[in-house]
Amino acid sequence: MLTESHILLTLASIHWIALMSPGPDFALVVQNATRYGRSTGIYIALGLSFGILTHSILSLTGISLIVHTHPVWFALIQIAGGSYLGWLGISTLKGLYQRRHNRHQSPQPSSSSLWLDNRKQAFSKGFLTNLLNPKALVFFISLMSSLIPVDFSASGKLLALVILWGLSFFWFALLAWLLSSQRLQHRLQSAAVFIDGLCGVIFSVLGLIIGYHACTTLTLFA
């Protein structure tokens, strides 16, 4: 029988591998850290990690499992997540188009209130991108149900939440830090348009696929 320490180590290892897999979270950090710099990337990472923490709590308490076992509820979450990813993709492509046709426009002056809004927006964007991702919901249900036994101690569950949140923030913050280093920034600026376009397409396609599957599910129960 596995001890709690072995279970937590297995949990951390699986989660770490999953974090490094390309997906919406990864693309969001790459896009924002490349274009807007380190601070925005860090706040994106913080939002993503809190989204993961929320999924972990919902999975441990069984709420996510209840949602997943009700096809209509899960389909509604898929529609919300797909719509949000699609909105991110369209907004990115629209912003790319506008920037290419308004290069002569001078940037807006920065202020403390604007910086505060940007930090809030970065955190919210990261949080919602992860929270509304139906694949994340399914992943954490599978992870928690297969590894965390019913008789797992309260301190063990709390430590599991800390591990999942800590690894998530560390990875995405590290990614944002590396991508926004001065040397790499000079190299990435020339590819910023390509990165924005690629991320915009990824978000749009993922949103479309998720939305399509959700609508298909709803038609079966209509």
Instruction: Round the average pLDDT of the chain to a whole number and report it.
Output: 83
Q: Which residue has the tokens 């974090």?
A: 19
The 3-state DSSP class for residue 53 equals helix
**In this predicted model, which residue has the larger pLDDT, 190 or 30?**
30
For the segment 161-197, what is each residue's pLDDT rounded down to a tens digit? Answer: 999 999 999 999 999 998 887 777 666 666 667 777 8
Q: Which contacts (CB < 8 Å, 24+ apart) does range 155-158 have?
A: 156/4, 156/7, 156/8, 157/60
Crossing angle of the two packed helices 112-131 and 38-61, in degrees rounded to 10? 40
Instruction: Give residue 8's pLDDT band: very low, low, confident or very high (50, 70, 90).
Output: very high
Crossing angle of the two packed helices 71-101 and 134-147, in degrees rounded to 10? 130
Res 112 pLDDT > 60: no
| pLDDT at site 192 | 67
Rounded to 5°, the CA angle 123-85-199 comes to 85
Res 107 pLDDT > 50: no
| pLDDT at site 111 | 42
pTM of the shown model: 0.81
